[in-house]
Amino acid sequence: MVGMATRTPAEPPVEPKSTNGNSAVTRVEPAPTSSWGLGDGAAIPWEYAPAPESRDVVTVKERYGLFIGGKDVAASDGEIFSTVNPATEEKLADVARATAADMDKAVRAARSAFRRSWSTLTGKERAKYLFRIARILQERSREFAVLESMDSGKPIKESRDVDVPLAAAHFWYYAGWADKLEYAFPGRVAKPLGVAAQIIPWNFPLLMLAWKIAPALAAGNTVVLKPASTTPLSALLFADVCRQADLPPGVVNIVPGPGAIGMALVTHPDVDKVAFTGSTDIGRQIFKGVAGTDKGLTLELGGKAANIVFDDAPLDQAVEGIVNGIYFNQGEVCCAGSRLLAQESIVEPLVEKLKDRLATLRVGDPLDKNTDVGAINSRAQLEKITELVAAGRAEGAEMYQPACDLPERGYFFRPTLFTNVAQSHRIAREEIFGPVLSVLTFRTPEEAVEKANNTPYGLSAGIWTDKGSRILHMVKRMKAGVVWANTFNRFDPTSPFGGYKESGFGREGGMHGLHAYVRLEDR
């Protein structure tokens, strides 16, 4: 349908209402009204009818406890915190707020489960549980998708078509490895590490849980996982899946709580392995927290990916990839293609096509099946995006936002594009983690490589060109853990993912992801 939409005749530019903390813009386009051409010059304007997904498939409890030793328990001091729907600013539920004593309890439960049950099972037995979890996730996929969208703000079509199916796929994939570790690491004996402490962020709550829990369990470890404070609900629903799958108590423990309590988990003396996804700042603190110990550590941190478009690239296809690269999940993606590097000869048509495409994006209710860009995860994140966008304008970059009405309530931000961006601008250097694209230009492949690598991060990149040889030439020179060619933001459980430089170290996914949860011994 989107491809059939036609633009209405140009109207004078309008300043959109300033809602949700979004400031006025330098240039706006009239809101697009799509129409069906009738062939005789007449056109009937049309709008998408609301298509809300039903909330009835999920029961949001008034209060959630911690999941420790297979039981739902209150925090040791009885404290709770609230989680909010970022699209409506309404409270969804109260959640027990773990203390350091609760972290200790959870680590003890995980240690006991490791000794008594999980490490004594054969790989084949462990696989049965993982297969069961994968199947239950698929059976309850609608429930997970709706809850995830309500708690995080991401559009239902993303949680339904990406997050939940990929989370299940990780359990299927690692279930397959559980009884084949000797083939994964030929000639070596793979032993589990013990208790894994896992801290995950709010941008892909269920998916990050799956990335971490599935390989850990497949390799024979037990887990204590701390979800982000703004998105604890899908992890707590996953606790229910563990019960349903009859997972032995204590193999998985879920302990929501404030960031500082995460450090109590990281530094707990009985933890053998730490896995963290989140900001580079907290990653550094965690690095310090495990320094001097023999704990294993993987850090998946921020990014400022370059999406490079050469003049021989199929531009329409590239536009879709650029949009997917930066506006998917509101740009709250560590590997988002937030810097577009366009070859000088095609920058003008490319930017025009991008602006046209941006005007067709629908921003609004995450539970509406037609929504492309949902709510920003929290007020704090919205403020951070707003501040960086203001810095972009103050530093002289030219901003474009399509005109679109934003909901009265909730944390929304218009898809934003900056041209006239210099490499020194904050919007070209800092991770914005929002729907904001900075367009830079280059003339030669060497200049593209230099600009792409001119960042402290090194998580991902994209290359758009007709020539396979050029892709290989570029990939060898790019300092990025993942380089997509003529596509962007593609994920598969068999494929490793991770970064260089300040984007962290270690890999998740594939056999590399399994490696991070085993100790290899000689036969």
Tokens of 500: 């260089």
Beta-bridge partners for 28: 401
Report if residue 229 touches ligand NDP, rule: CB under 6 A: yes
Sign of CA dihedral 154, 157, 163, 164: positive
Nearer to ligand NDP, 175 or 290 (CB): 290
Listed residue (319, 269, 262, 344) closest to 462, CA to CA:
319
Report if residue 83 touches ligand NDP, rule: CB under 6 A: no
Report if residue 334 touches ligand NDP, rule: CB under 6 A: yes
CA angle 55, 58, 62 (to 5 degrees): 105
- Pick the catalytic residue from 300, 332, 431, 502: 300
Decide if 335 is catalytic.
no
Report if residue 388 touches ligand NDP, rule: CB under 6 A: no
Nearer to ligand NDP, 388 or 406 (CB): 388
CB of 386 to ligand NDP, least distance (A): 12
Nearer to ligand NDP, 228 or 245 (CB): 228
Out of 38, 44, 260, 291, the only residue in the binding site for ligand NDP (CB under 6 A) is: 260
CB-side neighbour CA atoms (13 Å) of 42? 3
The DSSP code for 132 is: H
Contact yes or no for 208/279 (Cβ under 8 A):
no
Q: Which amino acid is at 407?
A: P
Binding mask 180-219 for ligand NDP (x = CB under 6 A): -------------------xxxxx----------------
Residue 176 φ then ψ, to 5°: -65, -30
Cα–Cα distance for residue pair 304/49, rounded to 1 Å? 36
Cα–Cα distance for residue pair 47/130, rounded to 1 Å? 44
Tokens 């492309």 belong to which residue? 372
Report if residue 428 touches ligand NDP, rule: CB under 6 A: no
Out of 16, 32, 153, 278, the only residue in the binding site for ligand NDP (CB under 6 A) is: 278
Q: Total binding residues for ligand NDP by CB under 6 A?
A: 27
Cα–Cα distance for residue pair 176/493, rounded to 1 Å? 12
Report if residue 226 touches ligand NDP, rule: CB under 6 A: yes
Decide if 430 is catalytic.
no
Nearer to ligand NDP, 157 or 226 (CB): 226
Q: Is 474 left (phi over 0), alpha (psi -120 to 50) or beta?
A: alpha
Report if residue 433 touches ligand NDP, rule: CB under 6 A: yes
Report if residue 460 touches ligand NDP, rule: CB under 6 A: no
Out of 277, 371, 401, 438, the only residue in the binding site for ligand NDP (CB under 6 A) is: 277
Report if residue 42 touches ligand NDP, rule: CB under 6 A: no
Residues 6+ apart with CB under 8 A from 358: 323, 327, 400, 401, 402, 415, 417
Report if residue 429 touches ligand NDP, rule: CB under 6 A: no
CB of 116 to ligand NDP, least distance (A): 28
Which range touches ligand NDP (CB under 6 A), out of 92-100, 105-113, 276-284, 449-457? 276-284
Cα–Cα distance for residue pair 471/142, rounded to 1 Å? 39
CA 83 → CA 186, 228, 231, 245, 254, distances in Å? Answer: 46, 10, 7, 26, 16
- Pick the catalytic residue from 53, 332, 334, 502: 334
Active-site residue list: 300, 334
> Where along the sequence are the contacts to ligand NDP (CB under 6 A)?
199-203, 226, 228-229, 258-260, 262-263, 266, 277-279, 282, 285-286, 301-302, 334, 381, 384, 431, 433
